[in-house]
Structure 1
């Protein structure tokens, strides 16, 4: 009997029509939008698996995700092309961490690293390697993986291999050594790895669909506290996860997921561009002609325009047809911008025979640099006849000056007052994982003479829950810090600072008084730049005494404190030639506790925001407690200009370290 093929049903034809419409209506811009989205843990990926995609250069995101029993809180950043760094806190809901109140559920901190080895080509996939939780005293979710991703519009396919958390068995949990099995024992890594795969379908800029195979063995991963607490009694029903990715606004993305065959989850992330002002910055520049009705004298008129445009301690002198101008930049975050503003003011001078212009920028009356050019070049640059590189080529910049202009100062600026908000955090104490204090800091500077500054700063934190149940360690140079931070009021500084600049670009600094929240004493440094500022070498040292916890004007009398602490360092700063605006600081010598060794700090400046990470190697055998023996001091920091939030230029920055 002949088999009669039934025609497609209406539902089938409608589904096929919609699918074809979605595929052929997809455009590359819509498709590209979701390629840089985060997975559950913050790194670029789908849900549980990473992809070979990375964030766009000089962007960062913050986010929170949930897939029972986990909550994930992450901060991810791309400081340079192809590199992605992720700071993650994983919370296991319902699993008590300590037998004390306050800390709540179990939490784990980790750092993840991903680097894209190869960009995607016309016929070749993108390739990336990643390290999950590679370092720390406890590495519960450690893994190393390789991922490959290829776009076939409107799909983005990913396959990969990973060990540890993503593999067949967990990696060792304890010890402070890096987990780098992928590089040290590649055959073992390959044997212990699982494969993973997934794809993303992005027909619209507003939404995308995800499907992945999750290789994690939740019921066998004994390094994960959730294994015995949760998955032994509720094993996952599936290795397949599906999700819907929604772009709600340019600043908010939401993933709605169904994972492990029995768990609903979500992921909320907010992407940002590093250094982009939240409020457009507007400059208030007063020209030379604007002051014509107030002053007839050339020097006073020009000085008034400079003062009202943000400069202080101004000196002006005409020598024949040469204009010498010295000023302190009190407003503009970038030095080149300060020079450009001065140029804009000078370009409005029309009836003065000026041929050459010498601009000296100083700090506290110490000349920092001299910029030499001509009045004609300034006019052509401001009027658009010269490009920036042409203007700089025709000009000359010097930093080896140490004497300023010998002429009376106009608009002297001796006192400076600064008020700024302050946020300090203290993480992972047994009494509570997230401790913080929020308030403001007020500082006053008085500059009585060249290079000299009296400085005092006090802080008030009306919101403060910092505290600890830990006791200071064997040599408590910093382990008693929480006892200082728990006070609402703090006298942070009360000191005198003197800087000298000698011939050959030699700088010296001497500081005496209350240096910081824990120590008072003396601190000194001498340094000199080499190779046009690419290398800076110096020596430094300090002799300090621990301050009292309860009285800001007394010294500590705790039995565990030494009479004095001292440091001696050889220091170096080197600007990395192949990475723009990046430098490495290295110091070798004796640290406060008496341990000797190195500290390396790597920094990258991105549109005024300075990102740093440091790591130390010292002889910790001088300690008697188990926590410091074998310990390496490491951390991350950011210096953020307030100009990004104020709508006007300013030099104030906010420093945060973790």
Structure 2
């Protein structure tokens, strides 16, 4: 069972492209619907006809959500165009009136993943040509493979033909590529490579016609016999391989489809599309920055202010007030005859260069004319993460040039030894918020979606730079997560499957209460020690050390945790780590490697010991966008066998992060994070401690700044 805070945001977005140096910069929107053709999406939530696939791809980075229903089948699919020629999807399906193993009162729920690769792009003579894997690591209910081609033969008229195996080779097969191993729709979770492109093969195809910019008609011949649905379920009668349908494509790319399927069923679907490369409010709606103030040549050599403490105080106060109006806190300021170093907290801007640029502009207006170099040190939680060195003359001369021009003259260096002391009146700092929360639990076989809602009071006290006391208390007002059934049917210590016991014990919960210290033990090094009630299920102590040079795409880290299980009422009590299925080890931890692959792709590899004592590795891959969007997937494999792990075979999931500044158009550093895990078991489970270092410091480092430097002058 997976629980996380989430918010539904569906819109469209602005993006980064690779610069000549190979690093991503902001540019005007690359895609605006309907200027780039959006293909039809089929009932599986991928580019296709009615039920069959085509060889087409969605526009790069498109994110789609499709709900379709016909007969006894309902499918909900999330798809993502990972690369221009690679699209993937996660699907959750309901088969009604079924006697399949694992059904609940006749309803069978299924989870599946698909991948499609485009081998050829349509040209004057060649068609689009794609190869696809359907339900390749799920239960196998929809297991199939296919090779398909699509070609526009007249303007707006496209013909599709393909060959399928598995489900797509089950009707009127014309040959075989060997014996396909049987599949009993088991627990799923592993890729059965021996089944790929094996067994009977059959042909499918169809035609689509873009009658207008908004209306599309489709007809298809299906090679899917729907054997499981017709033999192990009631209410669906496949009378014909032919289906016809139509799409209405809205101006924003969303698609409403109606069809008559298999000679017996009327179906409908709706697909919502967005793209993290375009924005609902192009350019944003923040206030314009103040202009740079050029120095007066006759004042550049005047150093009289260096012997006037009162004037230095006035400079500090004026700069602090001006920055505060821009959502930036001036924490410290050192003034030398020709250099000024400002220690800042960026409270507002998702792109660090935007905060740097606005700070530099205001420094040009507030500081004495003799100062020729600005050093801006962004901090997070009282810890400096980098130092950005800007020559004042470059700032004055290049204000109206492209951001690339000043980027080539700026230095981003380590902040150790360059950070001014904090003003005496800056600490302690107290912050609090009271806000509603929404929590969900997905894929429970008894109820596919459970939700809770309520109010959460959060507070933090920054005692000194890098030393923070923080906590959160939630009051549940309603929902159904507490009705989930706890099952002790696990071969591992119940580190996560005991979540229902925590959900129903108390409506008032202490979500977390921690004392954390963040530090810079040396150049390129960052540290964290967190103690207290670390998350809803565990208390203890967590320590972390990160090596991350400011100019490197590579980061290396290590984390060690001591954990004790909290009482189920989520108060202040601690209970034994002994569970009915075994004892939870007190220590766990990982070593981690982080690497920016370029083109917006970022990887993380964690190797170590998990909460249940199993040992293995987690690989995460994200595609990240300059505006803060992130879409990725992770998989964990440990020394726990598929049988010991249980349903799902190994831990895996999808993560989506949607920045609020993208949705609202107003500056904000907040984001809504959504995690979709097909099944939550005890293998591969991690501690949910907050404030891990890499996510806190990377945005202020050179590789990340390069991606969003286009906002320096914004």
Structure 2 CA distance, aligned partners of 1:339 and 1:67? Answer: 54
Contact 2:134 2:144 in 1 (8 A): yes
SS at match of 1:230: coil
Instruction: Report how far residue 85 of structure 1 moved.
Output: 1.8
Q: Mean alpha-carbon deviation: is it higher for 516-525 or for 167-176? A: 167-176
Contact 1:430 1:469 in 2 (8 A): no
Q: Mean alpha-carbon deviation: is it higher for 405-414 or for 337-346? A: 405-414
Contact 1:134 1:179 in 2 (8 A): yes
Change (3 A) 1:334 1:646: same
The aligned counterpart of 2:635 is 615
Structure 1 CA distance, aligned partners of 2:33 and 2:592? Answer: 50
Give the one of 22, 43, 63 matched to 1:40: 43
The aligned counterpart of 1:589 is 608
2:378 equivalent to 1:357: no
Change (3 A) 1:615 1:489: same
Give the one of 445, 451, 467 matched to 2:466: 451
Instruction: Report how far residue 317 of structure 1 moved.
Output: 3.0
Give the one of 522, 527, 541 matched to 1:508: 527
SS at match of 2:131: strand
The aligned counterpart of 1:156 is 158
Instruction: Report how far residue 533 of structure 1 moved.
Output: 2.3
Q: CA RMSD in A?
A: 3.1
2:688 equivalent to 1:653: no
Contact 2:376 2:388 in 1 (8 A): yes
Change (3 A) 1:631 1:107: closer
Instruction: Report how far residue 247 of structure 1 moved.
Output: 2.1
Change (3 A) 1:240 1:450: same
The aligned counterpart of 2:538 is 519
Change (3 A) 1:225 1:40: same
Contact 1:30 1:205 in 2 (8 A): no
The aligned counterpart of 1:74 is 77
Change (3 A) 1:176 1:641: closer
SS at match of 1:297: helix
The higher radius of gyration belongs to 1
The aligned counterpart of 1:463 is 478
Contact 1:603 1:612 in 2 (8 A): yes
Instruction: Report how far residue 344 of structure 1 moved.
Output: 3.3
Contact 2:205 2:220 in 1 (8 A): yes
The aligned counterpart of 1:13 is none
The aligned counterpart of 1:260 is 262
Contact 2:218 2:244 in 1 (8 A): yes
Contact 1:586 1:600 in 2 (8 A): yes
Instruction: Report how far residue 545 of structure 1 moved.
Output: 0.7
SS at match of 2:353: helix
Structure 2 CA distance, aligned partners of 1:537 and 1:316? Answer: 31
The aligned counterpart of 2:211 is 203
Taking the TM superposition and a 5 Å limit, the aligned residue runs for 1:94-105 are 94-95=97-98, 105=107
The aligned counterpart of 1:431 is 446
SS at match of 2:233: helix
Q: TM-score, normalised by structure 1?
A: 0.85
Taking the TM superposition and a 5 Å limit, the aligned residue runs for 1:250-289 are 250=252, 252-274=254-276, 276-278=278-280, 281-284=284-287, 287=290
2:192 equivalent to 1:179: yes
Instruction: Report how far residue 630 of structure 1 moved.
Output: 9.0
Structure 2 CA distance, aligned partners of 1:611 and 1:180? Answer: 26
Change (3 A) 1:212 1:286: closer
2:230 equivalent to 1:230: no
2:317 equivalent to 1:300: yes
Instruction: Report how far residue 154 of structure 1 moved.
Output: 2.0
Taking the TM superposition and a 5 Å limit, the aligned residue runs for 1:111-190 are 111-136=113-138, 138-152=139-153, 153-168=155-170, 172=183, 173-174=185-186, 176-181=189-194, 189=198
Instruction: Report how far residue 242 of structure 1 moved.
Output: 1.0
Structure 2 CA distance, aligned partners of 1:245 and 1:424? Answer: 34
Instruction: Report how far residue 424 of structure 1 moved.
Output: 2.4
The aligned counterpart of 1:24 is none
Structure 2 CA distance, aligned partners of 1:38 and 1:484? Answer: 41
Instruction: Report how far residue 193 of structure 1 moved.
Output: 1.9
SS at match of 2:386: strand
Change (3 A) 1:73 1:631: closer
2:491 equivalent to 1:477: no
Structure 2 CA distance, aligned partners of 1:302 and 1:288? Answer: 15
Structure 2 CA distance, aligned partners of 1:524 and 1:428? Answer: 33
Aligned length: 608
Q: Mean alpha-carbon deviation: is it higher for 553-562 or for 104-113? A: 553-562
2:224 equivalent to 1:216: yes
Change (3 A) 1:33 1:242: farther
Structure 1 CA distance, aligned partners of 2:647 and 2:213? Answer: 52
Structure 2 CA distance, aligned partners of 1:397 and 1:50? Answer: 48
The aligned counterpart of 1:6 is none
Structure 1 CA distance, aligned partners of 2:230 and 2:475? Answer: 41
Q: Mean alpha-carbon deviation: is it higher for 599-608 or for 645-654? A: 645-654
Contact 1:620 1:628 in 2 (8 A): no
Change (3 A) 1:72 1:408: closer
Instruction: Report how far residue 86 of structure 1 moved.
Output: 1.5
SS at match of 1:620: coil
2:587 equivalent to 1:566: yes
Contact 2:52 2:204 in 1 (8 A): yes
Give the one of 552, 561, 565 matched to 1:546: 565
Instruction: Report how far residue 34 of structure 1 moved.
Output: 5.8
The aligned counterpart of 2:660 is 642
Contact 1:420 1:440 in 2 (8 A): yes
Q: Mean alpha-carbon deviation: is it higher for 103-112 or for 113-122? A: 103-112
Instruction: Report how far residue 427 of structure 1 moved.
Output: 2.3
Structure 2 CA distance, aligned partners of 1:210 and 1:581? Answer: 35
Give the one of 51, 56, 60 matched to 1:53: 56
Contact 2:466 2:517 in 1 (8 A): yes
Change (3 A) 1:460 1:83: farther
Instruction: Report how far residue 284 of structure 1 moved.
Output: 4.0
Structure 2 CA distance, aligned partners of 1:490 and 1:655? Answer: 21
Higher RCO structure, 1 or 2 (CA under 8 Å, sep 6+): 2
2:329 equivalent to 1:312: yes
Structure 1 CA distance, aligned partners of 2:635 and 2:561? Answer: 21
Instruction: Report how far residue 468 of structure 1 moved.
Output: 2.1
Instruction: Report how far residue 454 of structure 1 moved.
Output: 0.7
